[in-house]
Chain A
Amino acid sequence: MESTLSEPVIGGAVPAPAAPPGGAPAKDTDEPRRGGSWLRYIGAKAGGAAVSLVMVVLLGFFAFRILPGDPVRSLADGRQVTPEQMDILRRQYGLDQPLPAQFWRYLTDLFQGKLGDSYTYNRPVMELILDRIGPTLLLTGTAAALSVVLGLWLGQRAAWRRGSRFDKTQTGLALVFWSVPTFWLGLLMLLVFAGGLHWFPTGGMVTAGVQATGFEYAWDVARHMVLPVLTMVAVVYAQYLMVMRASLLEEMSADYLVTARAKGLREDEVRRKHAVPNALLPTVTLIFLTLGGLVGGAVTVETVFSWPGLGYLTFQALSAPDFPLLQGTFVVFSSIVIIMNFFADIVYRLLDPRLRAS
């Protein structure tokens, strides 16, 4: 449990509660190990996730009501608005109702999948979020897949040849990428590959004004995706590399590798068939833990590249400010992350036979 706090809490793409480069994934030491049946384990984890979800729902409502600042005033900020117009606005968004009534409406709406109306778009927030969630999943999914493959591959190679030049360059590079703010890396990409070399478009998801279909459309989107995906991968792969490296280093002194070598296996086979599968175990859990955070980290990348996803929507809601929209993106983002973490707990249990048996 060393230096768990060194992770960039906000700036990095992944605010996961896992270990930073150089550490094995943090294990929850508080969890009862003995006698916990499968069902009880899932029950406990689901209960925890449910409590977190309830807290998100509560915070999503009360943060915008109890903290200082009148939403209607900021909505009318800088414009000539008469008190009558302010009243109309208040009524329109239900802000004239007493707090319990507002809260009741918020809850009943939420259970019907409604998140209120956006101030700036004059459309239901849920509609906006559904529009934007696809591009975010496309972007973060691609980035996650690439960084997992890259990080794990480099990590196991670095560990296997510990102390070699490959190991030193790779871990050094990973640490540097780790201290770089995501959005600055994005700006650098823009500077070099879009502004300087004109290899890739500067932003958006499709070329404006072009009605492409089929293969042409896919090609257009792919070209727009290159820079944002590269930015995300560069920031995220480092921690997969470091965890895979640490995890494999721990396995390397294990007795079963001596056995494998004594059987006459080639060094390459010892690594691929024996050491790596065991080292993957803690790593897989970490990957699941970070997937949720990756979605949250999309905010800065999407802002730099004006990628029409949830992160960019959050940024737009912040700039307006558009409180119902912000409330909606907060609830949706947080729920995604909490559910992902729940899956991480289940996968961890499923993968580790020692835990599954008990």
Chain B
Amino acid sequence: MSTLTTSRRSVATARRVQRLREVWAEFAANRAGLIGLVLLGAVILLAFLAPVLAPEETLNVTRITSAQNEPPTWANPLGTDPAGRSILAMLVWGARISLLVGFAATAVSMLIGTVVGMAAGHFTGVTQGVLMRVIDFFLVVPSLVLAIVLSSVIGPGVATIVIAIGITSWAGTARLVRSQTLSVESRAYIERSWALGASDAHVIGKHVLPAVMPLVLANTTLTVGSAIIAESTLSFLGMGDPGQISWGSMLKAALDTGAATGGYWWFVLTPGIAIVLVVLCFTLVGRAFESVINPTLRGR
């Protein structure tokens, strides 16, 4: 008996490994996606190594030897900020917050979006009506203004930004998940499941969720990119933790100190380029992944 189950399991495992290999092969065939993935890996590695690459005391304003607003030199390859800190070191530390918020906010957004979307697709009547109204509301309401309201009430901080982005960006996912849920539930095997006496929880957990997940995952990568832009925007408007460096807060400092009009180009250019690069990477990886998951998009 036990040999039977193990062999059955090993067959299933082998099949999964096989499928993963296929997915990887399809993904690797997309060169833009691969480049994006490699670059992203490098950025994530740098962010992890921040304490080694740029020890925290290099950012301590009281122990700084460099001049303020120094243009790029050998000692400070990307110049210094208005407090004399190395911009390269700030960039590496900023990557931590930007990536962390990007991933965390996406997780919040995906969780809310998937749950609400599945519920809105699965249930009927009043529940569905109410959920649809709520989804529509969050789709329509200007996200930035709502995020500003939320974070001003909760108070500045990293968690605030994660919550604000998560709450204002889930509605698109919910709509997508809902339409997928509707199409899955109209299939015969769900009807069979109902006929065998399945509960709501069983149908959602065993049938709808697995069918919806690939779509959600493909979108996750794309959403991280926009969450990083959102993070930088909210930090730029002053909603981040004042004690922590992020790419958005660097740009806020650039605006506040007049770096743009004063001609300190190194302080304006670098954080922005970092944001655009990372977002572009996530977009490339996301699109490649999406075309693997959804073959109808291929060839675009």
Given contacts A9-B143, A10-B168, A299-B144, contact A22 B300 (CB under 8 A): yes
A118 at interface (Cβ–Cβ under 8 A)? no
Which residues 3-37 of A sit at the B interface, judged by CB distance below 8 A?
3-12, 15, 17, 22, 29-30
A295 to B149, CA, bound (A): 16
Determine chain A's interface SS by DSSP, over half rule: helix
B132 at interface (Cβ–Cβ under 8 A)? yes
Given contacts A2-B290, A2-B294, A191-B263, contact A63 B169 (CB under 8 A): no
Which residues 49-75 of A sit at the B interface, judged by CB distance below 8 A?
51-52, 55-56, 59-60, 63-64, 67-69, 74
B152 at interface (Cβ–Cβ under 8 A)? yes
Q: Which of A22, A55, A181, A334 contacts B232 (CB 8 A)?
A: A181
A62 to B160, CA, bound (A): 18
Whether A333 contacts B283 by the Cβ 8 Å rule is: no
Q: Which of B154, B165, B286 contacts A9 (CB 8 A)?
A: B165
| Bitwise interface map of B from 154 to 196 toward A, beta carbon under 8 Å scored 1, else 0 | 1100000000010011011101100100000000000000000
A299 to B236, CA, bound (A): 11
A274 to B227, CA, bound (A): 41
Q: Which of B222, B237, B261 contacts A315 (CB 8 A)?
A: B237
A341 → B minimal CB distance (Å): 5
B111 at interface (Cβ–Cβ under 8 A)? no
Which residues 267-297 of B sit at the A interface, judged by CB distance below 8 A?
268-269, 271-272, 275-276, 279-280, 283, 286-287, 290, 294, 297
| Bitwise interface map of A from 181 to 200 toward B, beta carbon under 8 Å scored 1, else 0 | 11110011011001110000
A304 at interface (Cβ–Cβ under 8 A)? yes
Whether A67 contacts B229 by the Cβ 8 Å rule is: no
Task: List residues of chain A with CB within 8 A of the CB of B276.
Answer: 176, 179-181, 184
Whether B142 contacts A187 by the Cβ 8 Å rule is: no
A338 at interface (Cβ–Cβ under 8 A)? yes
Whether A10 contacts B280 by the Cβ 8 Å rule is: no
B235 → A minimal CB distance (Å): 10
B208 at interface (Cβ–Cβ under 8 A)? no
> Which of B153, B176, B230 neighbours the largest number of chain A CB atoms within 10 Å of its CB?
B153
| Bitwise interface map of B from 125 to 158 toward A, beta carbon under 8 Å scored 1, else 0 | 0000000110011011111111111101111000
Given contacts A2-B294, A10-B147, A195-B260, contact A17 B237 (CB under 8 A): no
A29 to B265, CA, bound (A): 48
Given contacts A191-B265, A338-B140, contact A11 B238 (CB under 8 A): no
B175 → A minimal CB distance (Å): 7
Q: Which of A3, A29, A187 contacts B268 (CB 8 A)?
A: A187
Task: List residues of chain B with CB within 8 A of the CB of A180.
Answer: 272, 276
Whether A8 contacts B260 by the Cβ 8 Å rule is: no
Whether B255 contacts A330 by the Cβ 8 Å rule is: no
Closest Cβ neighbor of B261 among chain A residues: A195
Closest Cβ neighbor of A13 among chain B residues: B144
Given contacts A15-B143, A184-B272, contact A10 B172 (CB under 8 A): no
Given contacts A3-B286, A334-B141, contact A9 B169 (CB under 8 A): yes
A26 → B minimal CB distance (Å): 8
Whether A15 contacts B290 by the Cβ 8 Å rule is: no
> Which of B148, B165, B169, B269 neighbours the largest number of chain A CB atoms within 10 Å of its CB?
B148
Task: List residues of chain B with CB within 8 A of the CB of A175.
Answer: 283
Given contacts A299-B145, A330-B145, A337-B142, contact A183 B233 (CB under 8 A): yes
Whether B280 contacts A179 by the Cβ 8 Å rule is: yes
A96 to B300, CA, bound (A): 61
Whether A314 contacts B275 by the Cβ 8 Å rule is: no
Q: Which of A108-116, A134-142, A316-324 contacts B (4 or more CB under 8 A)?
A: A316-324
Whether A8 contacts B142 by the Cβ 8 Å rule is: no
A309 to B10, CA, bound (A): 65
B219 at interface (Cβ–Cβ under 8 A)? yes
Whether A10 contacts B152 by the Cβ 8 Å rule is: no
Whether B142 contacts A334 by the Cβ 8 Å rule is: yes
Task: List residues of chain B with CB within 8 A of the CB of A341.
Answer: 140
A337 to B294, CA, bound (A): 33
A182 to B225, CA, bound (A): 14
A102 at interface (Cβ–Cβ under 8 A)? no
Whether B233 contacts A181 by the Cβ 8 Å rule is: yes
Whether A30 contacts B232 by the Cβ 8 Å rule is: no
Given contacts A1-B176, A3-B219, A181-B272, contact A8 B140 (CB under 8 A): no
Given contacts A63-B153, A195-B261, contact A314 B145 (CB under 8 A): yes
A170 → B minimal CB distance (Å): 16
B204 at interface (Cβ–Cβ under 8 A)? no
> Which of A1, A22, A181, A304 neighbours the largest number of chain B CB atoms within 10 Å of its CB?
A181
A94 at interface (Cβ–Cβ under 8 A)? no
Whether B262 contacts A195 by the Cβ 8 Å rule is: yes
Whether B225 contacts A329 by the Cβ 8 Å rule is: no
Given contacts A69-B153, A195-B263, A318-B239, contact A8 B251 (CB under 8 A): no
Task: List residues of chain B with CB within 8 A of the CB of A337.
Answer: 140-142
B240 → A minimal CB distance (Å): 12
B97 at interface (Cβ–Cβ under 8 A)? no
A190 to B260, CA, bound (A): 6
Closest Cβ neighbor of A2 among chain B residues: B297
B226 at interface (Cβ–Cβ under 8 A)? yes
Task: List residues of chain B with CB within 8 A of the CB of A12.
Answer: 226, 229
A48 at interface (Cβ–Cβ under 8 A)? yes
Whether B261 contacts A334 by the Cβ 8 Å rule is: no
Whether A64 contacts B153 by the Cβ 8 Å rule is: yes
Task: List residues of chain A with CB within 8 A of the CB of B246.
Answer: none
For the complex of A and B, list the 7 residue pairs with the smallest distance between their C-beta atoms, beginning with the closest. Answer: A296-B142, A11-B229, A10-B230, A184-B272, A190-B260, A195-B261, A6-B222
Listed A/B pairs (22) with beta-carbon separation below 8 Å: A1-B179, A3-B287, A5-B172, A6-B223, A9-B165, A9-B168, A9-B226, A52-B133, A52-B140, A67-B153, A179-B276, A181-B276, A184-B268, A191-B263, A296-B142, A296-B143, A296-B145, A300-B233, A318-B238, A321-B152, A334-B141, A334-B145
